[in-house]
Chains A and B, each alone.
Chain A
Amino acid sequence: MSERVARLRMQHVKKAFGPTVALADVSLHAHAGEVLGLVGENGAGKSTLMKILAGVHAPDAGEIQLEGEPFTPCDPLAARQAGIAMIYQELALAPHLSVAENIVLGVEPGRGGMMDWRATQALARRALETVGLGELDSSLPVSALSLAARQLVEIGRAVVVGCRVLVLDEPTSSLAQSDIARLFKLVAQLKQSGIAIIYISHFLEEIRALCDRVTVLRDGRSVCEGDTKQFTDEQIVGQMVGRDVSELYPRSPRTPGEVVLSIRNVQGEIKPQRASLELRRGEVLGLAGLIGTGRTELLRLIFGLDHAVAGEIQVGLYSGFGSPGERWKQGVGLVSEDRKLEGLALDLSIAENITLTTLRARVYPAQQVEHARRWIERLGIRCHSPEQPVGQLSGGNQQKVAIARLLCHDVDVLLLDEPTRGIDLGAKATIYQQIDALACAGKAVLVVSSYLPELLGICDRIAVMCRGILGEAHPVSEIDGHRIMLEATGTSAPFL
């Protein structure tokens, strides 16, 4: 095997930004017609490694070979022309332009600066057919497509220019189950066609289902590499975090108290259509279901961000709908699923973000910093100082800041929307611990998540949303992943 010339080989790659060493020593290789899984916590150096490959950064040391030839891309265009294609987590499409134009962007057919629209259409058609979107009208603006379709368009863009190495960076983080299956089929098909695929993911079951080999990164080093089959999940996770994680989902004995949040037959403008639930003190209630079925909308509705057209909401002693400001006063806090756009003020400091909802008329900066320091320590937020802008932190640490705001406010009801999306295992573990500790302290937690093992791990009860209608909540001991999926896809009547 190793005698064969690899499609891509990176050897002892190093990269430092000033005093911070992003990559200490990374080696990996990927053959044609093979899927290489790349796993590691956020901050392990995956994104830096990919940026080097994409020609955004140049490595300080080490060698990259493409089909045995030295490969030193000077800019993204050079990397693209050499056949390296990246599908980033934040999809890189221009929403106003048509599907066809996005596919040819940067490599437009035509001579002397002119657009050849006919060739553009033909290229787009070929790309869409490859990714199984043959029936899609390529003149539609990308903004009219669903997230899953956009991702396929982007893969089409990579394939149509003849890519040799395709990098997928956590492609499933925002896809529904059915779209994931479709993506997997496409990846298998692209692998057959002889493309070398590097698949980055936090989900080990995906790595297991898709990847022939796996390389684990930790603290800027490639710490282990081999056939996927030869490792157990525990071994891989152990290599990723460099410590034992058998207790990922802590669950202390909790006793549910009185009801603090009760909603009856609530209906939003579009979604949800009907939702009722009761949330007790000392309880973690999970909301499962496919993406786009109205789980996020339900949280927003409870929190007063969206308008409700019918139903009743009662928070503690208060009954009726309320604005977000009133909800905070009633002891309800929300962590948004979109921490970049909605959850956090990225340009403001950690201290400002944590204390944003607890400010009084007169602000004492020293006190803000003092508060922040306490939460930074308790949640293990990795930063230079409380005055550091939140935007400079890694995803996991940003999420900890978002949660710290609720803790600092000392809310009784926590509404958490995808609290661990796109963050590393270490940060996930911290957040699970906090949720457990909060429930033990008598707080009530409502969690929306698309990651079933997580819901099953941390929740006391789970309710499933299907097509805007919220089902009955089941104790976690009486439900498993299979039954949740059945209920979420509406293939069986909700359990009684």
Chain B
Amino acid sequence: MNAALSPGHVQLRRWLVRAGPIFALVVVYVLFASLRFDRFVTWINTEIMLQQTAVIGVGAIGMTLVIISGGIDLSPGSVIAVASVVVALLLQHGCSPLVAALGGVGVGAFAGLCTGLLITRLQLMPFIVTLGTMGILRGAAKGLSNEQPIYPDETWLNSLMKLQHHNLPAGVWLMVALGAGIAWMLRYTKFGRHIFAIGSNEQTARLCGIHVGNTKVLVYMLATAFAGLAGVLQFSYLTCGDPTTAVGLELNIIAAVVIGGASLAGGSGTVTGTLIGGMIMTVVNNGCAKMDMPNWVQEIVTGFIIVAAVTLDRLRRKAR
């Protein structure tokens, strides 16, 4: 009785899905290293690349949850802007840096709560709802800041993204720690497994007594809280609250998740894949810059990588 594909075959495919992004990262790295070894392969450039990945990476960890659950969130770019503005305003009004940072994250989480409730209670399409919140939050950021960047006094928040020379910036460590935490959560908690179940087959999840609505609300809250945190990092990087920052960044974040091997149809995805996906995009951008290529070349190359990633994913699926 041919009950299943051979276990070896399935293991091989699983391994291919896991290793694909790492392999791609090595390829692009080696490519640029062989082209411009002197300027590309240095400690300081490596540190810069990791620093550049941190904001997208933290946002993408949250996005991974949303995409695994079968949803999509277009608001992270705007959440990052509004969070950076909120942090700056709170600092200006004399709050402690910790309170300011929590304020930024909290604004994100609140936005996610609203989106999540709209999506689950009113059965609205995530794409449309978050397209709406994207506009609302961008407008709110501009309104709160009178359309001007806000420069508060310097605190330790500004040093989160500072290059350290002997150590990596705190923001990078934060990304790694959060990534590890979420990867663990996805694997070892019921909440994590329920996210996969919902993305894989929502009807089934409901039938098995999983609280689909609450789980989804929590997923959107977590995702936008991470975007809020990315906003705090962005504030630290820019040393100001800027309402016009991170326009279109949500697309880079989604791209990182997809390059990392997640399926936009839901049910699959990994945090490590996502972070590597983010790294691939940074390496390409950085490498092109070191090659003195103009900006438009970088954009075209990044676009091709996204298309290549989904094509590969498609071929992997067809190969069974």
Contacts and interface: CB of A to CB of B under 8 A. Distances in A.
B193 A97 contact: yes
A106 interface: yes
B267 interface: yes
A232 to B, nearest CB: 36
A343 interface: no
A19 B290 CA distance: 71
Interface string B3-33: 1110100100000000000000000000000
Given A97-B196, A113-B190, A115-B193, A92 B4 contact: no
A73 to B, nearest CB: 11
B10 A105 contact: no
B94 to A, nearest CB: 39
A136 B4 contact: yes
Interface string B185-205: 001111111001101110111
Given A95-B267, A96-B268, A136-B3, A113 B189 contact: yes
Taking each of A92, A106, A117, A136, which has the highest tally of chain B beta carbons within 10 Å of its own beta carbon?
A106
A433 B115 CA distance: 53
Contacts of B122: none
A180 to B, nearest CB: 13
A76 B209 contact: yes
Contacts of A76: 206-209
Contacts of B268: 96
A146 B3 contact: yes
Given A92-B204, A105-B208, A106-B208, A97 B7 contact: no
B192 to A, nearest CB: 8
A100 to B, nearest CB: 11
A96 B196 contact: yes
Contact of B190 (A97, A110, A144, A145): A110
B215 to A, nearest CB: 12
A148 interface: yes
B197 A94 contact: yes
A92 B203 contact: yes
Interface in A102-144: 105-108, 110, 113-115, 117, 133, 136-137, 140-141, 144
A93 interface: yes
B256 to A, nearest CB: 20
Interface in A60-95: 75-77, 80-81, 86, 88, 92-95
B210 interface: yes
A489 to B, nearest CB: 13
Contact of B3 (A54, A101, A105, A148): A148
B146 interface: no
Given A77-B209, A94-B197, A137 B7 contact: yes
A113 B204 CA distance: 20
B263 to A, nearest CB: 8
B60 to A, nearest CB: 20
Contact of A94 (B1, B187, B191, B196): B196
A429 interface: no
B217 to A, nearest CB: 16
A115 B204 contact: no
Given A94-B200, A94-B267, A95-B267, A146 B208 contact: no
A75 B267 contact: no
Contact of A145 (B3, B200, B210): B3
Interface in B126-162: none
A133 B268 CA distance: 26
A108 B267 CA distance: 18
A76 B10 CA distance: 33
Contacts of A95: 200-201, 267
B190 A115 contact: yes
B2 interface: yes
B193 to A, nearest CB: 6
A291 interface: no
Contacts of A94: 196-197, 200-201, 204-205, 267
A93 B201 contact: yes
A76 B203 CA distance: 12
Contact of A133 (B2, B3, B206): B3
A92 B207 contact: yes
Contacts of A114: 188-190
Given A76-B209, A77-B209, 8 more contacts: A93-B201, A93-B204, A94-B205, A95-B200, A96-B199, A113-B189, A146-B2, A146-B4
CB-CB nearest 3 A-B residue pairs = A77-B209, A106-B208, A94-B200
Interface of A: 54, 75-77, 80-81, 86, 88, 92-97, 101, 105-108, 110, 113-115, 117, 133, 136-137, 140-141, 144-146, 148-149, 178
24 contacts: A76-B209, A77-B209, A80-B209, A81-B209, A92-B201, A93-B201, A94-B197, A94-B200, A94-B201, A94-B267, A95-B201, A96-B268, A97-B200, A97-B267, A101-B193, A101-B196, A105-B197, A105-B204, A107-B209, A117-B188, A136-B4, A137-B4, A140-B5, A144-B5
